[in-house]
């Protein structure tokens, strides 16, 4: 088993805890990954983001094989995003207001200054057989996307940056919802 570097583990632990504490995932929801060379570190399927330890993180090799726990069911999506973008990390969460707004629009445009400045526009992808390719393609030109009725996927140079875009999206979505 490849040993996860302490700094990488620390980032998973703290970002996962922040997402759970902020109410952006349920106890067992969401997933996170960090690119490592041609492979990636990714949270195991069904792990609790608020309580991540070494035994919860898998390493997925370029050929799809893995070490550690069974990787997240979203692993193929993470691989596709890394293949199509320059991302260094990916976060997936279930922000309530973002999900609520996703039912009624194909493109969420923040009303608030912070959201306009950072996110600009957030595409909403329909669930279906091509959602993996569509989410990855949308993340080439956007920092975060919504999967309708499910949640948000954000990419960043680091996992901290991906956390920033998830929290910024939920802040903007909450404001938009309050103003409806």
- Contact residues for Zn ion (CB under 5 A)? 151
Instruction: Using the minimum distance from each CB to Zn ion, give the nearer residue, 151 or 156.
Output: 151
Instruction: Using the minimum distance from each CB to Zn ion, give the nearer residue, 97 or 112.
Output: 97
The nearest distance, CB 178 to Zn ion, in angstroms, is: 24
- The region that residue 128 occupies, defined by phi over 0 for left and psi between -120 and 50 for alpha, beta otherwise, is left
**Token digits of residue 125:** 């992808």
**Token digits of residue 151:** 């949640």
> What is the C-alpha separation between 95 and 55, in angstroms, rounded?
26
Nearest residue to Zn ion by CB is 151
The nearest distance, CB 171 to Zn ion, in angstroms, is: 19
The nearest distance, CB 145 to Zn ion, in angstroms, is: 13
Q: Distances in Å between the alpha carbon of 104 and those of 65, 87, 126, 174? A: 39, 29, 11, 15
36 alpha carbon, distance to own chain's centre: 17
Instruction: Using the minimum distance from each CB to Zn ion, give the nearer residue, 68 or 98.
Output: 98
Place of tokens 């993470």: 78
Instruction: Using the minimum distance from each CB to Zn ion, give the nearer residue, 28 or 120.
Output: 28
Instruction: Using the minimum distance from each CB to Zn ion, give the nearer residue, 110 or 151.
Output: 151
The nearest distance, CB 6 to Zn ion, in angstroms, is: 28
> What is the C-alpha separation between 149 and 158, in angstroms, rounded?
26
The nearest distance, CB 180 to Zn ion, in angstroms, is: 24
């Amino acid at each position: 088993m490849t040993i996860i570097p302490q700094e990488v583990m620390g980032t998973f632990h703290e970002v996962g805890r922040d997402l759970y504490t902020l109410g952006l995932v349920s106890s067992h929801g969401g997933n996170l990954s960090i690119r490592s060379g041609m492979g990636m570190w990714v949270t195991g399927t069904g792990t609790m983001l608020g309580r991540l330890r070494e035994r919860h993180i898998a390493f997925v090799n370029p050929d799809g094989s893995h070490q550690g726990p069974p990787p997240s069911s979203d692993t193929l999506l993470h691989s596709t995003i890394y293949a199509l973008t320059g991302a260094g990390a990916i976060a997936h969460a279930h922000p309530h207001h973002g999900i609520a707004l996703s039912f009624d629009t194909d493109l969420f445009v923040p009303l608030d200054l912070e959201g306009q400045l950072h996110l600009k526009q957030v595409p909403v992808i329909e669930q279906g057989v091509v959602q993996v390719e569509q989410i990855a393609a949308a993340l080439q030109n956007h920092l975060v996307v919504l999967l309708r009725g499910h949640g948000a996927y954000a990419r960043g140079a680091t996992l901290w940056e991906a956390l920033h875009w998830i929290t910024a999206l939920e802040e903007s979505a909450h404001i938009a919802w309050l103003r409806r």
